[in-house]
Amino acid sequence: MASVWSGKVPTITSMEVQVRSSIVLAHGDPNTEPREVPLTIFDRFACDIHIAVLYAFTPPTPSNANIVEGLSETLAHFPMLTAQFGHDRGGRPCLLVGGGGGGALVVEATVSSTLAEHMPLEPSPDLLLLHPPTEDAAHLLHVQLNRFQCGGLVVGLSAHHKVADGQSMSAFLVAWGQAVRGVSVDPLPLHDRSWLKPRVPPRCEFQHWGLDFMPIPPRDDEFASHNNFVEPSRITNILLRYSSEFITGKLKAETKAKYTTFETLLAHVWRKITAARGLEGREETTIRVTVNGRRRLNPPVPDHYFGNLVLNAYPRSTAEMLARGGLEEAAKVVHEAIARTSGDYVQSMVDLGDMYGDEELVPVYGTEGNVLSPLVDAESWLRLRFEDVDFGGGGKLCAFLPTWVPLEGLVIFIPAVGDGGGIDVMVSLLREHAEVLKRISHSLN
């Protein structure tokens, strides 16, 4: 995910949230030296921000005390989440695990309204009230337990992306639910980073400079070329809901079911965003889509590896081709780009980390502003396990959604919660483009 503009978003709130208490859960011994855990190349590739997500549960739910107790037990298995950033003796960035610092921030809050008044959960600046501020955060993990008048609960959780990717955080949340329910955490997270071995000798077989990382040394014009800012109030978030019937009966029928559900829907949304932005002719547009590298490496890295192991594929086209070529052609472009992100490409990234680990590596998106157009930054949460989070008590997960993000061009695919299935797509665009997208989002033209 690209860097998020840190400007304040003006908001007229309709949700009254009162913070009642805050504590820091720490598992380190202040009388011992912290353990140094070097950041991998994939940790360094991750964006330098907290990612905040909200999980809404219907009543009845366990007490805050039980949830916090379960969190404390779970963090013992996930010590990276209570670590601090630092540098090892060789000067490379690392996590400092244990010792007297770090910890996880836990906030308890109440909301004056009922959860039902805010359902279905929709993007809104109000969502920022349901988790601790992510700017200049002192801790790598933040949790806010928001109790509504009806007994409903929204858990606002944010974690620093350089500690863990989406798959790792979904595993943490499922484990937290297991601990609250009194179930043994299974599977336990894998912290063994020796799975990411460089070849001997290491070699970079692909062009990562300028695509994944800024060139070393950077060219004078590199930073200016990507730095496009607007007032955050000009950007809005919308949620597009696509039913299973629409995806299967309409979109996949258009592509003769040649491509995956994600590839097909991403291609459809890409075409609609391109039209909504008013791009045309030979203007080039690119998707930066995250790809899980665990199963691409040889040997594959177990799914329960904790940390970051994602990189990007880069489907490219012109506005004209997307308009004239139809959905099938766009889905083909997406499919082929993802396929090119092979095990060899992932291994090349591992080797790059070994060859250039002493350098100050800057991901390309670390230089971008809050407007990505004509780029689309696409994240898929479809194969993660966020919807499996269960704290017990009889209540059920009824919604989960990323927080309000004023980053034009960000697109997140989320499995719809409930029996009907389908996929929700959160899209962040300039307001005038979002209005157009809402009108054409389900058009097959």
pTM: 0.94
Instruction: Note the pLDDT of residue 427.
Output: 99
Give me the amino acid identity at 31. N
User: Which residues form the catalytic set?
Assistant: 161, 390
pLDDT of residue 418: 80
pLDDT at position 221: 52
Structural domains of the chain ordered from first start: 17-190 (3.30.559.10), 222-383+404-440 (3.30.559.10)
Question: Any residues with CB less than 8 A from the CB of 392 and at least 6 apart, and which?
Answer: 62, 177, 180, 181
**pLDDT tens for the 445 residues of the chain, in order:** 433 323 333 333 478 999 999 999 987 778 788 999 999 999 999 999 999 999 999 999 999 999 999 999 999 999 999 999 999 988 899 999 998 889 999 999 999 999 999 999 999 999 999 999 998 888 999 999 999 998 999 999 999 999 999 999 999 999 999 999 999 999 999 999 999 999 999 999 999 999 999 987 665 554 444 579 999 999 999 999 999 999 999 999 999 989 999 999 999 999 999 999 999 999 999 999 999 999 999 999 999 999 999 999 999 999 999 999 999 999 999 999 999 999 999 999 999 999 998 888 999 988 899 999 999 999 999 999 888 899 999 999 999 999 999 999 999 999 999 878 899 999 999 999 999 999 999 999 8
* CA dist 282 → 76, 231, 288, 327, 330 (Å): 54, 28, 19, 18, 15
Torsion of CA 269, 272, 276, 278, to 10 degrees: 120
Q: By the 8 A CB rule, do 255 and 327 touch?
A: yes
Look at the alpha carbons of 49, 167, 351, 191 in this order and tell me if their dihedral is positive or negative.
positive
Q: What dihedral angle (degrees, nearest 10) is formed by the CA atoms of 421, 427, 433, 436?
A: 0
Tally the C-alpha atoms within 13 A of residue 281's C-alpha that lie toward its C-beta. 2
Residue 384 has, within 13 A of its CA and on its CB side, a CA count of 26
Residue 407's alpha-carbon distances to 34, 157, 372, in angstroms, are: 36, 19, 8
Residues 6+ apart with CB under 8 A from 183: none
pLDDT (0 to 100) of residue 218 = 62
Query: Is the bond preceding 120 in cis, omega lying within 30 degrees of 0?
Result: yes
3 state SS of 50? strand
Alpha helix positions (H), 147-254:
166-180, 222-226, 244-246, 252-254
Place of tokens 């630092």: 86
15, 111 contact by CB (below 8 A): yes
Q: What are phi and psi of 419, to 5 degrees?
A: -75, -25
pLDDT of residue 89: 87
Assess contact for 148 and 115: CB atoms under 8 A. yes
